[in-house]
Structures are given as C-alpha cells and as structure tokens.
C-alpha cells in the first residue's frame, strides 16, 4: 500500500490528473445515490433544459429532472457495469490464453483459430448482432460487452504467455515434472500481470465507450435505468440550445475514459524507463 502511494506520487502530472479522475469516478460510483440532491427520476424543475443554478448545479433535463442527480446515478451504471464486464472479459480471456500456452498444441490451435474468427468481427458490429439476438437486459448487456472483448484480451495475453512459455525458467519447471496448472499460475501468470493490467485498462476504456455508445443508440441500458450514454441520448433535443443536460454526461464519460488513458500511459512509461 505504501509502495502504491509512493508510486502514485512519482507519476508525472498527466498521470496524477488521470489518477485523480479515476479515483473521483470510483468514489462517485460508490456513493452516488447518497449524494444526489434529488431523486433522479422526479420532475423537480418546471423549466426544461434549464442552465446552471444554485439549486440545480447542472441544470435540468428535457423533462425538468435534476441533471446532477441523474448523472451521479448514471455514473454508477457506467462505471459498475464496465468494471464487471472488463473483469469477466479479462478472466476468461487470460484464462483461455494460459490454457493455450501450456496446453497441447491442438488446443492452442483451436482456441487461437476461434478467437481469430471472433476478432475479425469488428467489436461494435459484434455487439450489435448480439444485442439484436439476445436483447439488452442489464445482465445480458454486461455479458455481451464482456464477450465482445474476450478475443482481444485473449490475443494479448496469449502472445505474452506463449513468449514466456518458451523461456528457460518455464522449461526448467517442465523438466522438473511440474503440472500444467503450476506452469500457468506460478511460473507464467505473475510475469504477465503488469503488461496485462495496461491492456485491461485500455479495454475498460473501450468498454465504457461501447456501453455508452449502445445506450446512446437506444440499444443499451433500458429505461428507467439510465447510464451516462442514455442521458446523452434522452437529451439530444437540447443539442440546438447547447443544453448542459447533454454536454454534462458526455463530458463525464470523456473525463472517465481520458483519465484512465492518462493513468495507464504514465504508469507504463514509468516502467519502461
């Protein structure tokens, strides 16, 4: 822990900004409902698309609801669902990658072939086909997004793991008679974690963007639940007025994704040099 704090204080400025943004959104996602000044679903302002005021910091939306309250509630969905999806994607992708790296050659061929096929379907197109087939209840949506990003994680993790599996220390362990599980978990996994975390961070960014994009298209989270992408969608009629109700959630997504990107970039560069 002390080590982590020391590392954080050594990050260059963009990295610190990124870290601050990421921490900010994690906190909002956790405590969002308790700090929302109004119930997110109630019509509190007579004026629609109202500007910023002391009572409504981010103004009101197309139905006169409080934008700030809706935003902090929506952030929970965006951050939470994306985090769950990326965890699922990375666990399955990396698990399969390790299996491919230490397993028999035919299994590696089979898994790689299958993942190469899935990766040839552009991720947003894949997600659209899955949504069309299965619909978009919250659980399914999370699963769909996770499935969409398994092949990418598999590919990165496999190339890292296969590279390591050829190294002498893994050979020595094999020659000692160690089982495949030991090779994968003890010898290989600890050494691919660092580069994998960078990849998982990037994938989290893509997942946030995909989830928000789907919601923006009306294919993601369904009302009454609303994530940040849904907030942008429902307020598109305010675009011509330049309403805060549309800018605020879009900027919120951007600050989260840009923050993650800045943090990863700074963290990985520090390691390279």
Measured in degrees and rounded to the nearest 5, phi and psi for residue 65 equal: -90, 160
Measure the CA–CA gap between 154 and 143, rounded to whole angstroms: 16
Which of residues 69 and 257 has its CB atom nearest to another protein in the complex?
257
Task: Give the residue from 118, 131, 110 showing the smallest Cα distance to 89.
Answer: 118
Q: How far is the CB of 232 from another protein (least distance, A)?
A: 6
Q: How far is the CB of 248 from another protein (least distance, A)?
A: 11
Q: How far is the CB of 135 from another protein (least distance, A)?
A: 7
Alpha helices in the chain (DSSP H): 2-10, 13-35, 67-102, 105-119, 123-134, 138-165, 168-176, 180-182, 189-216, 228-234, 244-272
Which of residues 34 and 120 has its CB atom nearest to another protein in the complex?
120
Which of residues 35 and 132 has its CB atom nearest to another protein in the complex?
132
Which of residues 225 and 265 has its CB atom nearest to another protein in the complex?
265
**Burial state string for 12-34 with b = 16 or more CB within 10 A and e = fewer than 16:** eebbbbbbebbeebeebbeebee
Residues in contact with another protein by CB under 8 A are 14, 113, 116-118, 120-125, 128-135, 167-169, 171-172, 174-178, 186-187, 190-191, 205, 209, 212-213, 216-219, 229, 232, 239-242, 246-247, 250-251, 253-254, 257-258, 260-262, 265
What six digits make up the tokens of 42?
A: 């109630």
Which of residues 107 and 129 has its CB atom nearest to another protein in the complex?
129
Q: How far is the CB of 42 from another protein (least distance, A)?
A: 26
Measure the CA–CA gap between 28 and 117, rounded to whole angstroms: 38
Q: How far is the CB of 109 from another protein (least distance, A)?
A: 13
Which of residues 46 and 273 has its CB atom nearest to another protein in the complex?
273
Q: How far are the Cα atoms of 42, 48, 133 from residue 63, in angstroms, in the given order? A: 9, 6, 32
Q: How far is the CB of 39 from another protein (least distance, A)?
A: 26
Q: Give SS3 for 206.
A: helix
Q: 189-216 and 123-134 are packed helices; what angle lies between their axes, rounded to 10 degrees?
A: 60
């Amino acid at each position: 822990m002390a080590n982590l704090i020391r590392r954080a204080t050594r990050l260059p400025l963009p990295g610190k900004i990124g870290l601050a943004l990421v921490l900010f959104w994690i906190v909002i996602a956790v405590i969002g409902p308790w700090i929302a000044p109004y119930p997110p679903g109630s019509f509190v302002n007579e004026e629609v698309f109202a500007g910023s005021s002391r009572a409504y910091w981010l103004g009101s939306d197309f139905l006169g609801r409080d934008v700030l309250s809706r935003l902090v509630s929506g952030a929970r969905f965006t951050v939470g669902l994306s985090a769950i999806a990326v965890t699922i994607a990375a666990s399955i992708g990396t698990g399969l990658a390790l299996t491919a790296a230490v397993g028999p050659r035919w299994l590696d061929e089979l898994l790689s072939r299958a993942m190469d096929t899935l990766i040839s379907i552009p991720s947003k197109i894949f997600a659209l086909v899955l949504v069309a087939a299965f619909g978009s209840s919250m659980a399914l949506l999370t699963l769909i997004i996770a499935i969409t990003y398994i092949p990418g994680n598999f590919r990165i993790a496999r190339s890292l793991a296969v590279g390591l599996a050829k190294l002498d220390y893994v050979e020595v362990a094999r020659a000692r008679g160690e089982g495949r599980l030991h090779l994968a978990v003890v010898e290989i996994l600890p050494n691919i974690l660092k580069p994998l975390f960078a990849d998982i961070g990037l994938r989290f960014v893509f997942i946030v963007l995909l989830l928000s994009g789907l919601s923006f298209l009306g294919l993601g989270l369904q009302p009454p639940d609303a994530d940040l992408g849904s907030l942008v969608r429902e307020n598109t009629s305010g675009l011509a007025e330049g309403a805060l109700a549309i800018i605020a959630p879009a900027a919120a997504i951007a600050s989260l994704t840009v923050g993650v990107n800045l943090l990863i970039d700074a963290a990985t560069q520090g390691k390279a040099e």
